């Protein structure tokens, strides 16, 4: 009955490969935010 339904693979659905930069950018940015908040907290006192 569902002859019009088309199944495609993950790569075709995403239109290519995804870079792994999130593994690098996320921890670095989280570390920088924590350091920034610590500096602001120390200055605010």
4-20 per-position pLDDT tens digit: 778 887 777 777 666 77
Q: Tokens representing 35?
A: 């350091």
Confidence class for position 41, pLDDT limits 50, 70, 90:
very high
Q: pTM of the entire structure?
A: 0.55
* Separation in Å, CA 20 to CA 5, 25, 26, 30: 31, 9, 11, 17
Query: What digits encode the pLDDT tens for the residues 17-40?
Result: 667 787 889 999 999 999 999 999
For 10, the 3-state DSSP assignment is helix
Q: Check: CB of residue 15 under 8 Å from CB of residue 21.
A: no
Q: Where are the domains of the chain?
A: 20-45
Residue 1 has pLDDT above 60, yes or no: no
**Residue 37 C-beta-side C-alpha neighbours within 13 Å:** 6
């Amino acid at each position: 009955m569902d002859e019009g339904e088309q199944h495609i693979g993950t790569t075709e659905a995403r239109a290519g490969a995804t870079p792994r930069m999130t593994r690098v950018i996320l921890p670095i940015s989280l570390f920088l935010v924590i350091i920034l908040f610590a500096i602001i907290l120390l200055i605010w006192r």
